[in-house]
Each structure stands twice: as C-alpha cells, then as structure tokens.
Structure 1
Amino acid sequence: MTVSLRAPARLSCLALALALAGCATTAPGPVTIQLVAMNDFHGNLEPSRYTPVNPDGSKAEPIRAGGIEAVAAALQAWRKQDKDLLFVSAGDLVGASPAMSSLWADEPTIEAMNMLGLRVSAVGNHEFDAGRKELLRQQHGGCDSPRPDKACQMRKDYRGAQFTYLAGNVIDSATGKPFIPAFKIEQVKGIKVGLVGVVLQDTRSVVMASGIAGLEFGDEAAAINRAIPEMRRQGADVIVALVHEGGTTKENPMTPGCSQLTGPVVDIVRKLDPAIRLVISGHTHMGYLCSIEGRTVTQAASYGHLLTRIEMTVQKGVGHVGDIKVENVLMKGGDHPADAKMAAFVAQVKESSRAALGRPIARVAAAPVLRKLNPAGEAPLGNLIADAGLAATRKLGAQIGFMNEGGIRKDLEAGPDKVVSFGQAQEVLPFGNTLVVMDLSGAQIRKLLEQQWARPAAATPSRLQVSEGLRYQWDEKRPPGQRVGAITLDGAALEDSKIYRVVANNFLTEGGDNYPEFVKGANRVDTGVPILDAFIDYLRSIEGQGEAQPSFAAGARVIKAD
C-alpha cells in the first residue's frame, strides 16, 4: 500500500504562498493631495487695493489685486494640474461686503463660490451680520429673509450654498447641539479628508447681540478636539482645522516657516490634538505661512488678494501626514487665462448693479479720505463719519457722536473729478447699521473712553472715533482706568454728573467691540436711520465748502501725551 503525499504537499505550498503574499501586503503608498484656501473674502467680487511685500520685507507699490475673476482663473489653471484639488475657506466669505454683493444680500458671492467648487467654509463672525436666520437662508436657499429689499432681488429662485458651512463651537442653547455641522469629510484620491471648522469664541463682542440670540460660542480648540473621534469613526485619514481666528506677524506673508506669529490662534493651535498638523486660519486679514510646535498654520490676507496653496502627503489608512508644503500666491488679473463662465457672471452682476452703484453722491475737496489712524488713534474718515452721525441726530438732541474703527471698511475713494459714487460710499460703511441716540453721564463717557485700553486678551484692537467738539487727552504710561485726561465738549470741561446725549451705531450701542458702557445708556432711541444714509447726506451737506471742507482732518480731537 502506497501513501501519497502530493495533494497535501500542494496544499501546503498554496498555504505557504498565501502566507507569504499576506506578509508582502502593505498599506497603500503615500498619496499627495492639493488644497487651496482663502479667508475673509467679504464679498469683494472686484479687485481692490493691495500692497505687496518685497522679498526683503519692504513694501512695494500698491496694486489692484484679488476679485473673483482672478481667483477663478487661478483655480481653473491649478485644476488642470490636479483635477482633485480641494478648495476650502476659513470664513467671512460674506458680510461687510462692497455694494455689488451687499445690494443683493450677498447672493452673488455665494453663487460665485458655488461656481468655484468651494467645498466647505468655517463660519466667520461676519456670516452672522444679518443674524442666524439669514445665515441659514444663505446656506439652504429661499427668500424668507430679514432683508426682503435685497434677498431674491437679482434671482428669484435663490438656491443657497452648495458648499457646507462649519461651526463646531457654536451651540444652540435650546438644544445643546451644534447650530450647524462641526465637520465634513471629503474624499480626495481615495483619501478621506476630515475638515472641521470653528469661529472665534469672542464672536459675541463683534456681532450684534440680537442677531445671535440663543447661540453660545465655545472654546475653539475644545470643539475641534471633540469632533476628532467621530471623524475617525467615519474613516478620516487626515484632519484639517479651519479656524476663523488668527494672529499677526511682521514676517513676509509669502515666505514659509515664519516663527514670530502672535495672537489668539497660537494658543488655539497649542491645545489641539496631535493628529492635526494643518490649521488654516482667518479673521485678522494677515498673510502668513507659519510653524507652531511642528504644525503648519496659514492665512491668506483678505479680499481674495492671496490664495494659499497646500500640498500634503498622506498615508491612507494609518492617519500619517508626511510633508506639508505651503505657499501664498498673489491673485492678479492676467496671470492665468480667464474663466469665461465667471467673467460672464461678473459682467451680469455689474450690469444689474450699475445704475445703483454709479449714482453720484457728492463732490469732495480731496480724495481718498483715509481710515488709517494717526499715533493718537484718530483718522480723517473716522472723524467724518462721527460728524455725519451727529449731524443726522442733532434734532434729537445729540451732542456727541462715536464711531467704531472696525466698522469703517475702506478708504473713501472718488472718481477723477472727486465725485463720490454710491458704491464708493457703501464700501466704507457696508453693514447696514442704524443710528441710536441715548443718554450717558460725563462719568460714563470717561469710562467709555477708558475702555479703549481695557480690552480682553483676544479682542481685536479698536479705537473710538469722535465727533467735532469733543476733545480729550490720553497717556498710555498712566495706570489702566486713568489713561484719559482732560475731556472737553465745545471748549467746556465735561462734567461727571451731567447728562449728555450721545449717538452711535446700533452695533456699538449693544456693547459691540467690547464697549459694555454703551449698554447702560438711558432713554435710548433707535432712529432707524442707516448710518450710510447719514454719511451720504453729510457728504452732500458739506459739498461746495472747498478747501475748508476737510475740517474733519485727524489731529485735532484726540491728543496723545509725549
């Protein structure tokens, strides 16, 4: 009797071959993915003034840059290199927008972003400018808006954003759940990219309180870290944080590896889970390509002047991120072949807006009128706007006008004949705020002025602009709460116990920009008068004053001690 060993031998060889094959099997090789990021576009569909930085750090001559057509042309060219390019935003796509967008409730900007293939955007504070209801309408579409005179006026079937707004740290206090999604997972070349978004925790201080009633803004890093386990459960190979909070640095915005970044985003980054290697930031309108404790942190200036190109090497399935390469690229018209569809869209919006935007307002003696502050914290344009608010409400007893620096978005430009158009005036004051008149004592006004220096650590610097007739001195060397010296109104010393009638925009009077003393004002009257209307009326009233017109020039109202 013969015993055959051939069949078992064949099985053993097969088993060995399969085992060896299993041993040879490894995770797929690294994959390179491309991202492009923007932030703080603010509805700037057209190019605007930008000052580039030379390689040596010096400032070059200002140019016109940004605008949606330059962005579209660049993305079109880059997608020819990589069709899977992922376009994302770190917030403030809309809000504080020029008239060509804001006239139509920012719907043209949302539509343009749809055309660009934007996938996600962190919510910025300016997305709340018209309130939570309007933000949800911008996301989902429809015409039920708190701005019925603007919504669905260009296109009757506004369909909303095709991208997803993210805000992991914005909680609906009624439900205890996120107001909108915290994250979204996009698949790129087989890699699942988890994108988590947050807005600055201090949003309440820079948005009208009535627009965010019922919402709570939590710690940014905690919200990002809280979302990571669920993103991992859904298969995310890599996680990218979109943070609408930023910092500042004097380093060149085009040079990778900056190491001198300061500001709130630095603390946020240091508290993040080690899984996050890339943070795309916004809010401070700075350009930078920085490194913080081994993480890459970027920001692309504002208004579409720059885009950040990002190349990441990712190991699928193991969550390993290799090299991250970043560059900020200047968006200048003509650098890439035009995107014909976007050019046609912009032409259509311009034509729809032309009559309203081009309407002449008034002739000024000199232009531009600048919003830049002098060392004392005073700006010609700030003085002009404070004067306008006061002039519009004197019949209601107003004696003093205030304007917040952050509410002034652009210099006041004019045409070659020094005639200001409606569009140019609206670019200065795009928010739609109204004027509110109230009573404050002299002691309260002093406290209000002191609050310019009593800022929370994360707050954006802000200086009050004051109307003609009010004068005060300050000395930063003095202790906090004692920096404001002599205050006079029309030459007479301000009396602590005396009541004065004050006017400011409704954002400030709700305590915006961290000025809580405004909330305590008595006998409040919301006039319903838009500050833009008051500004336009004032420009008309001073037209023809010739060289005497710039009585609002900086340097006469606020005096800084040497």
Structure 2
Amino acid sequence: MSATPQKNRASRRVLAAAAGLATVGALVAAMPAGAHGRGHGHGGDHGHGHHTPARTVDVQLLSFNDLHGNLEPPAGSAGTVTETQADGTTKAIPAGGVEYLASSLRTARKGHPYSITAAGGDMVGASPLLSGLFHDEPTIEALNKIDLDVTSVGNHEFDEGATELARLQNGGCHPVEGCYEKGKKFPGADFPYLAANVTSEKTGKPILKPYTVWKKNGVKIGFIGVTLEGTPNIVTANGVKGLKFHDEVETINKYAKELDRQGVKSIVALIHEGGLPASASYNYDCDSPGAGDGISGPITDIAKGITPKVDALVTGHTHQAYVCTIPDPAGNPRLVTSAASFGRLYTDTTLTYDRRTGDIVRTAVKGSGKHGSKHHGSQPSNPVSANHLVSRDQKPAKDMTDLIARWNTLAAPISNRPQGYISADINGRGSTAPEKPLGDLIADAQLEGLAPADKGGAVVAFMNPGGIRADLVYKASGSEGDGVVTYGESFTVQPFTNMMNVVDLTGAQLISALQQQVSGSNEASPKILQVSKGLTYTLDMTKSGADRVVTDTIKLNGEAIDPAKTYRVAMNEFLAGGGDGFAALGEGTNKLVGASDLDLFNAYLAAHSTASSPLAPPATDRITVVQ
C-alpha cells in the first residue's frame, strides 16, 4: 500500500537536505547495547544448566508489521478484521490498539521459554496524532515496553529522513521541539532497526545494522532486515537524500551467507514488502486443498529467489493478513507471513531448532491460517504458524493504558479542537472503490484552497489514494459528540502535512498521468488518483494498461481536455515529485508552493459544515468504472 511519505510538519522542517548525510554515518553505530541476544525474560543467554538439553527446542516467533503508530484502537474499518465463520460467512471483528496488542503478546509468551518478538517495518510514520504529533516517540516507548526484539525498517521509517531515523534508534530530544516532558530525555529504541539494503551514497555501507543474532542457551537465530527496493518511489526526495536502496533478494542472500559463515544456521528474513492473499479473511488457510495460488504480488518472486539458508519470511507493506508457504529455490516449502496492520493481528510461528545442526527443521513446512493452530514438543516437527486476533475483549495492559493517557494529556490542547461536522461516515482507507468519498472531499478542499489567482489559480486537483490514511468516522470517540471532526481525526486522515504545489501541465500530460494510474509500474496494482469536482472520465477495467482510461471521455467542467492547452493543477509535493509512478505529474512547471494539505482540509471542513448543517458523504460520481 504505497502512501505519501510524511513530510516534516510546519515546526519540523529542519530535517531537510542539510541534515541528510551529516549524520548518516552515525546510523551505523545505532544498534543499542545488548541488542544481540537481549531477552526481556524470554531471551538472553543464561547457560545450559545442569541437565542435557533435548536435541530440539521449539522457539516461538511472534511477529507483526505496519503498526504506523496506532497506539489507540483504530477507528472505522481500519479497526476491524475479516474472519471467516464455520458456516463460510464472514464477519468484521473489532481489533487492535497497543493496550490489547501488549496483552496478546504477553499472554502468548507464557509457557514459552524461547520466545522472540519481531516486526516487519513501518512501526512509525503515517501515524495518528497521538504519536505523530511527537515524532513517534510514544510508539517507540510502547514498543520498548512490549519487548520488541528486532524490526526491519519500512519505507515510512524514512518519512522524516535518515537523521530522524537515527534519533529514533539512538535517542535524544527533537532538534527543534526539544523534550516533550520536563526532565525526560527520549531514550530511543532498545531494539535494533535493521536496514541491510539501505546504504549511504557516501560510504557504500548500510546505514543501520544489516542483521542481528538472538541467542539463548546455545540457540542462535539470525535476523536480516530489509525494506522494499522501491522505497524512493514512495518517499519524498528529502526523506531518502543521500541513500541507496538495493535489491531485496541479493541483499538477503549476501547476509545469509555471512551469517552461515559465522555458524548461524537458523535465519529469519524481515522484509518490508508483501503480497495479496486470495481471501481477505485473516484466518484463511492459504495452503488448503484447492486454494491454488493462495498469494500473489511482489513477495512471491522475492520468496522464490531467497536462498534456502533462510528459514522463514516475516513480511509487510501491503497491510494484508496471510500465512502461506512458497517454495524456496531448492523446492522446499517455506513460511511467508504477514499480520495485516495497525496492531490488529499478530503471527505466532513455532520454529523447531535442532541443537545438533543449529538449523530449523522444515522438511515439510506447514502454514495454517486456522486460528490457534500450534505445535509443541521436543521431537522434530514441522514449523507451524497462524495469525491471531488482537481482541479488544481481553484485559488491556495497564502500562499501555497509562502511556496513552500520559501522551493524550500532552496532545489534548491540539487534538480535541473541533474542525467541522459530518452527517455520516466518510470512508477513505476503508473504501475499496476506485473513487473514495473521502478522496473526493480532500481533492475538493485542495482545489478550493488553491483556486484563487493569488493562491495558484488551480483548475483541478489530484490526491493519491495511499495518502488517505483513515476514514472520517461519525460515531463519537472519547468526549466528542457524534459527527464532530476533531483536529486529531483530520490529522489521522492526512498525517503527512505535505505542502501543496500548483503547477502548469499540458492536457497531454494530464492524460498521461491518468493513464499512469493503470499502466507501467501501476498496471498490476492500479493507483487511482482521487479527483476534484469538475473532472470526469471512464475507466474500463476490461481492457489492459493505458487503454483502460477512455481518453475521449476525459472532461473538465464538461469540456474535453485539450492536449495542447496548459492547465494549473494542484497536488501534494509527493505527487508533484512524480511519486507513486506518476512521472507525468513530475513534469510540471511554474510551481507555486501553497499551504499544507492538512491546513486546506481543515479550512474546508470549517467553511462547509456546522453542527446544524454537517457535511454529507460525496456522491462519488466522477469516475465511471466499467468492470
């Protein structure tokens, strides 16, 4: 799910180009002391004891991905998962929230002397206001308390650049805003971020540790962490300035060989790239008879190319739930897992470690989407994995409840300010349609704010769908009233605070941009731009590539787009830089930089809604889709 990267907010702009390479070298030393073999009571090296250990040991691997700073339970559709019932029907079940994730992980660890907790990237970035307002310090604090052992970086770890990533790892107060609590210095992550395939252009070396080794009682398991090679295409230029991103397979194979030479034979790859399962249900059995190809997408080719030295793949990025097996290059099945997003699920995988060989037994790996499937015992066994619901019916973890309350107190003066009113849910992230109600609303806000001649003279606005991070939910949360949109809620919808651009584009370039939604790098997984009122066209999905856009239907205010004419077009700076595969949008000239996307959105809510006359969901009648 590519998304607009998070730009530094108005008060955060110091983390720009000048800061880029100055501290990249410092990232190499970012591994916290004791990260190798850290235990939290369920790891660490405590010796063999006075008895002869069994030949095999069951090692529990708990994993999750794409938390995105969702400390409080996510609202709307972002806070549910789909579960298939015994009769074959499906049900949406509320899930998530770090209070419940902590409880779930702590409960799962009970009875497992060998337990590791790992993550697949995007722990921070695109975060709700509670975390994003404080540059995700609250999320790192929560992950420390949860006893996360290791994570890969994801694309969103680069939203604020390499310098800020170094601070999240090493600690220290924000260079502009300082310390948020009197007498408290941000300690940084006490788990390692791994970035094996991200190197400094200056030194050629990884900016963070490429791998780490977990150890306990002679058991050694290596973890290699990578983000998707295409990270620069979905992060602003400042966020990746001075960095190079390398092929995932080549990088993992390189470091797997290095670990093997060191005697580490059991290896897990943490990969911030994912796939698309055949079913949206978290308990879908990907490997059930008749399932066929249970998963598709980028991770399938990546998995097939990764050396058999790697025993399991923990993945992310696509925000999907799956537990599948994909053959390695030797033809042996290997587990590939993902736990959706926002802390709604966690994956529990049993890895049977052979003390004699130092390797994981996976002669016939079994992936199970069935809730609760596990294996225990001391004899050689097949690794088994399952996704588990982070239920809100369980008792919340008190330390997390206290953490949320503490940061909410600091955020409340800003978070609780009313911005506008809605009459019903206005879905964005939760909409599966190409044209999303919230997408229309955001694009209209951008057009209205930038249409005046002195603001840019825009005649049309485009919004990238991945930049819409949530729904606007009607039902009250906390102390607000039904239908009230607070600053915290609008921030959660658009947390990046991207600056808006207005540029000149020819009609031919506009047409090319619309075609790039469904062709080139976007052909397999279309990225449909959300468009402001006045622009209409037909999308024929029965065709392929650029032909899916029916060019003679493209009209602006009822008039056909003239390829030779120049149009003033509003978009956020991510799109204006050609992000998400929209090279045509990156060709704009005569650029004017306007207000931030969030400021325009809030201004629109204030201008068009009152308690007695709330905004209704838009009609979504701008893009006609032929299936």
- TM-score for the superposition, normalised by structure 2: 0.80
Deviates more, 1:107-116 or 1:489-498: 489-498
In structure 2, what is the equivalent of residue 303 of structure 1? 342
Instruction: State the structure with more CA Rg.
Output: 1
SS in 2 for 1:177: coil
Does residue 218 (structure 1) correspond to residue 246 (structure 2)? The answer is: yes
| Deviation per residue, 1:45-101 (Å, 9 max, x gap) | 011221331245856443431111111112222333224421110000011111111
Q: Distance in 2 between matches of 1:154 and 1:449?
A: 47
In structure 1, what is the equivalent of residue 387 of structure 2? 328
Q: Distance in 1 between matches of 2:59 and 2:617?
A: 56
Q: Distance in 2 between matches of 1:319 and 1:270?
A: 23
| Deviation per residue, 1:277-318 (Å, 9 max, x gap) | 211110111111101111011110110100001111111251
| Deviation per residue, 1:14-62 (Å, 9 max, x gap) | xxxxxxxxxxxx9961111111001000000011221331245856443
Does residue 249 (structure 1) correspond to residue 277 (structure 2)? The answer is: yes
Q: CA 1:480–1:334 in structure 2 vs 1: closer, same or farther (change >3 Å)?
A: closer
Q: CA 1:297–1:78 in structure 2 vs 1: closer, same or farther (change >3 Å)?
A: same
In structure 2, what is the equivalent of residue 381 of structure 1? 438
| Aligned partner (choices 21, 46, 51) of residue 72 of structure 2 | 46
SS in 2 for 1:34: strand
Q: Distance in 2 between matches of 1:221 and 1:238?
A: 17
| Aligned partner (choices 583, 586, 605) of residue 519 of structure 1 | 586
Deviates more, 1:73-82 or 1:92-101: 73-82
Give 1:366 deviation, angstroms.
2.8
Q: Distance in 2 between matches of 1:543 and 1:58?
A: 43
Matches within 5 A, 1:12-23: none
Give 1:257 deviation, angstroms.
4.8
In structure 1, what is the equivalent of residue 63 of structure 2? 37
| Deviation per residue, 1:501-541 (Å, 9 max, x gap) | 111011111111111111110011222x2211110110111
Q: Distance in 2 between matches of 1:460 and 1:374?
A: 13
Q: CA 1:59–1:536 in structure 2 vs 1: closer, same or farther (change >3 Å)?
A: farther
Give 1:479 deviation, angstroms.
5.7
Q: Distance in 1 between matches of 2:271 and 2:217?
A: 25
Give 1:260 deviation, angstroms.
1.1
Give 1:326 deviation, angstroms.
0.8
For 1:332, the aligned partner's letter is: S
SS in 1 for 2:62: strand
For 1:538, the aligned partner's letter is: Y
Q: CA 1:301–1:477 in structure 2 vs 1: closer, same or farther (change >3 Å)?
A: closer
Does residue 69 (structure 1) correspond to residue 99 (structure 2)? The answer is: yes
| Deviation per residue, 1:226-254 (Å, 9 max, x gap) | 00122123332310011110101124422
Q: Report if the CA contact (8 A) 1:379-1:553 is conserved.
A: no
Matches within 5 A, 1:74-223: 74-145=104-175, 148-149=176-177, 152-154=179-181, 156-223=184-251
Q: Distance in 2 between matches of 1:91 and 1:83?
A: 25
SS in 2 for 1:327: strand
SS in 2 for 1:62: strand
In structure 2, what is the equivalent of residue 426 of structure 1? 491
For 1:393, the aligned partner's letter is: L
In structure 2, what is the equivalent of residue 355 of structure 1? 413
Does residue 542 (structure 1) correspond to residue 571 (structure 2)? The answer is: no
In structure 2, what is the equivalent of residue 5 of structure 1? none
RMSD (Å), alpha carbons = 2.3
SS in 1 for 2:585: helix
Q: Distance in 1 between matches of 2:64 and 2:545?
A: 38
Give 1:370 deviation, angstroms.
4.3
Gaps (5+ residues) in structure 1? 1-25
Q: Report if the CA contact (8 A) 2:84-2:283 is conserved.
A: no
For 1:407, the aligned partner's letter is: G
Matches within 5 A, 1:270-349: 270-293=304-327, 294-322=333-361, 323-335=382-394, 337-349=395-407
Give 1:189 deviation, angstroms.
3.8
In structure 2, what is the equivalent of residue 8 of structure 1? none
Q: Distance in 2 between matches of 1:410 and 1:544?
A: 22
Q: Distance in 2 between matches of 1:267 and 1:40?
A: 21
Q: Report if the CA contact (8 A) 1:51-1:60 is conserved.
A: no
For 1:443, the aligned partner's letter is: A
Q: Report if the CA contact (8 A) 2:503-2:589 is conserved.
A: yes
SS in 2 for 1:474: strand
For 1:501, the aligned partner's letter is: R
Q: CA 1:480–1:219 in structure 2 vs 1: closer, same or farther (change >3 Å)?
A: same
For 1:492, the aligned partner's letter is: E
Q: CA 1:220–1:446 in structure 2 vs 1: closer, same or farther (change >3 Å)?
A: same
SS in 2 for 1:430: coil
Give 1:220 deviation, angstroms.
0.5
For 2:389, the aligned partner's letter is: L
Q: Distance in 1 between matches of 2:172 and 2:613?
A: 50
Q: CA 1:304–1:549 in structure 2 vs 1: closer, same or farther (change >3 Å)?
A: closer
Give 1:128 deviation, angstroms.
0.9
Q: CA 1:446–1:545 in structure 2 vs 1: closer, same or farther (change >3 Å)?
A: farther
Q: Report if the CA contact (8 A) 1:374-1:554 is conserved.
A: no
| Identity level (%) | 38
For 1:32, the aligned partner's letter is: D
Give 1:481 deviation, angstroms.
3.4
In structure 2, what is the equivalent of residue 471 of structure 1? 536
Give 1:478 deviation, angstroms.
4.7
For 1:421, the aligned partner's letter is: T
Q: CA 1:560–1:338 in structure 2 vs 1: closer, same or farther (change >3 Å)?
A: closer
Give 1:371 deviation, angstroms.
4.5
Q: Distance in 1 between matches of 2:578 and 2:524?
A: 13
Deviates more, 1:184-193 or 1:219-228: 184-193
Q: Report if the CA contact (8 A) 1:468-1:552 is conserved.
A: no
Q: Distance in 1 between matches of 2:463 and 2:224?
A: 35
> Does 1 or 2 have the higher relative contact order (CA < 8 Å, sep 6+)?
2
Deviates more, 1:307-316 or 1:228-237: 228-237
In structure 2, what is the equivalent of residue 6 of structure 1? none
Does residue 492 (structure 1) correspond to residue 559 (structure 2)? The answer is: yes
For 1:188, the aligned partner's letter is: K
Q: Distance in 1 between matches of 2:282 and 2:393?
A: 22
Does residue 417 (structure 1) correspond to residue 453 (structure 2)? The answer is: no
Q: Distance in 2 between matches of 1:398 and 1:315?
A: 65
Q: Report if the CA contact (8 A) 1:245-1:281 is conserved.
A: yes
Does residue 445 (structure 1) correspond to residue 510 (structure 2)? The answer is: yes
- TM-score for the superposition, normalised by structure 1: 0.89
Q: CA 1:131–1:28 in structure 2 vs 1: closer, same or farther (change >3 Å)?
A: same
For 2:294, the aligned partner's letter is: Q
Q: Distance in 1 between matches of 2:415 and 2:89?
A: 32
SS in 1 for 2:230: helix
In structure 2, what is the equivalent of residue 401 of structure 1? 461
Q: Distance in 1 between matches of 2:544 and 2:214?
A: 52
| Deviation per residue, 1:453-512 (Å, 9 max, x gap) | 113279753110000111122333456434332222222222111111111011111111
Q: Report if the CA contact (8 A) 2:424-2:473 is conserved.
A: no
Give 1:365 deviation, angstroms.
3.1
Q: Distance in 2 between matches of 1:54 and 1:392?
A: 44
Q: Report if the CA contact (8 A) 2:351-2:383 is conserved.
A: yes
Gaps (5+ residues) in structure 2? 1-51, 288-292, 328-332, 362-381
Q: CA 1:198–1:459 in structure 2 vs 1: closer, same or farther (change >3 Å)?
A: farther
Q: Report if the CA contact (8 A) 2:81-2:344 is conserved.
A: no
Does residue 505 (structure 1) correspond to residue 572 (structure 2)? The answer is: yes
Q: Distance in 2 between matches of 1:481 and 1:215?
A: 32
